[in-house]
Amino acid sequence: MKFSTRSRYGVRMMYELAIHYGEGPVILKDIAQRQNISGKYLSKIVILLKGAHLVRSSRGLNGGYILARDPSKITLRDIIETLEGGITLVECVNNGKICKRSGDCPTREIWCGLNKLIAGYLDSITLRDLAKKRVHGDELLKTVIS
């Protein structure tokens, strides 16, 4: 499985909202600039996040975007499932009827187990974790595991 740019950028956008949580709305243009992401692309991502009730917007002079709930209540799984449309390694994991062999397939159990591990790992990381650690790259893995 390979996560799309939409998910990677979406997590970075939500990270920005998490580190500014409680300070008021954040302008999308500022997030785009700090994260070196196209503002136009972020505006498409934020629509999906709003639809999933992960982000709220406010208009006007002090308008922008804020998290819809506390960063400790939003996991990476919430974000990635919203932006990817789910987390599935193999289609038969979520729908055994898609394959006539799923009932006796020797590998389906492996894919189901691996899917659970990935989902569980993403569930274990909240935006609060990211905001507190302010880590990048491989350091996140070390911090979450230890």
**Number of domains the chain contains:** 1
Q: Where are the alpha helices (DSSP H) in 85-137?
A: 108-123, 127-133
Using the predicted structure, report yes or no on whether residue 96 has a pLDDT greater than 70: no
> Torsion-angle region of residue 129: left (phi > 0), alpha (psi -120 to 50) or beta?
alpha
Residue 29, helix vs strand vs coil: helix
Q: What value does the CA radius of gyration of the chain take, rounded to a whole number of Å?
A: 17
Two structure tokens written together for 99: 């394959």
pLDDT (tens digit per residue) in 98-107: 777 667 788 8
Q: Band of the pLDDT at 88, cuts 50, 70, 90?
A: confident
* pLDDT-above-70 percentage for the chain: 85
Find the CATH number of the domain harbouring 77. 1.10.10.10
pLDDT (tens digit per residue) in 12-40: 999 999 999 999 999 999 999 999 999 99
Average pLDDT, the chain: 85
User: Which domain does 54 fall in, by range?
Assistant: 5-145
The whole-model pTM stands at: 0.82
Kindly give, in sequence order, each residue whose CB lies less than 8 Å from that of residue 115, ignoring residues fewer than 6 positions away.
87, 88, 89, 90, 93
The more confident residue out of 46 and 107 is 46
Task: Look at residue 135 in the predicted model and tell me its pLDDT.
Answer: 47
Q: What separation, in Å, do the N-terminal and C-terminal C-alpha atoms of the chain show?
A: 25
Taking residues 78-100, report their average pLDDT.
80
pLDDT (tens digit per residue) in 114-138: 889 989 999 999 999 998 876 444 4
